[in-house]
Amino acid sequence: MATKVLTPAQANLELAILNAESEAMSSSDFYAWLKDLGLPDEVAIRLKGVAEITASVGKRVINVGKLILIKVIEFVKAHPNMAAGIAIGAALGALVNTVPLIGPLLAPIAAMLGAAVGALAGHRLDKATDGQSQNTGILAIGQDVIEIATAFFKLLIDIFNLTLNGASIQGA
């Protein structure tokens, strides 16, 4: 995966464009958009609070929280089955935690394994849905893990690029 290196001027322009996109959506519109995605009221309200986090970049105030949420939601839309698989794996870990005595000991392991297996299964479903060829053979799991890691770290890099350009976070 090639990483593009931006000059400070290019990074400033990209940040200004992303911020303009996030400002185009009012707080109530953002809440309505979250509700349209099917999120429960409690989750949408909490995410709306995250969306209100800002950062000072030079003389501008950037809606960092809203930008991060938009990037995460884009990622989930691009990988819906993988996101569902991870959520099911995490739920499995929470369920194991309810087992008396050994549950709290096994829950972290169950959550980690459940999320990993769920991510792999979801990634394969996403590829099948998109009509992409499936990895086969003994190396298939490793190839899928690399593809998942690449997608995740691209998201992480996008988020870091949004927030770490000399910004001071406010509202957290």
- How confident is the model over 19-59, as pLDDT tens digits? 787 788 777 888 888 888 777 888 888 888 888 888 777 77
Give helix then strand counts, H and E, for the chain.
Answer: 7, 3
Task: Classify residue 2: in a domain, yes or no.
Answer: no
Radius of gyration of the chain (CA): 19
Q: What is the domain range of residue 144?
A: 8-170
Residue 3 has pLDDT above 60, yes or no: no
Does pLDDT of 168 surpass 60? no
User: Residue 162 has what pLDDT?
Assistant: 64
User: How high is the mean pLDDT of the chain?
Assistant: 80
The three-state secondary structure class of 171 is coil
Closest CA to 51 of 25, 77, 74, 75: 25
Provide the domain count of the chain: 1
Q: Is residue 40 part of a domain?
A: yes
- Answer whether residue 3 is part of any domain: no
**CA-CA distance, 35 to 83, in Å (whole number)?**
18
Which two structure tokens, joined as six digits, stand for 15?
């940040």
- Choice between 8 and 139, residue whose per-residue pLDDT is larger: 139
What mean pLDDT do residues 107-122 have? 89
Q: Distance between CA 21 and CA 70 in Å, rounded?
A: 10
Residue-level pLDDT at 165: 56
Residue 169 confidence (pLDDT):
47
Q: Which long-range contacts (CB under 8 A, 24 or more apart) does 16-21 make?
A: 16/60, 18/67, 18/162, 19/60, 19/62, 19/63, 19/67, 21/70
Residue 1 inside a domain? The answer is no
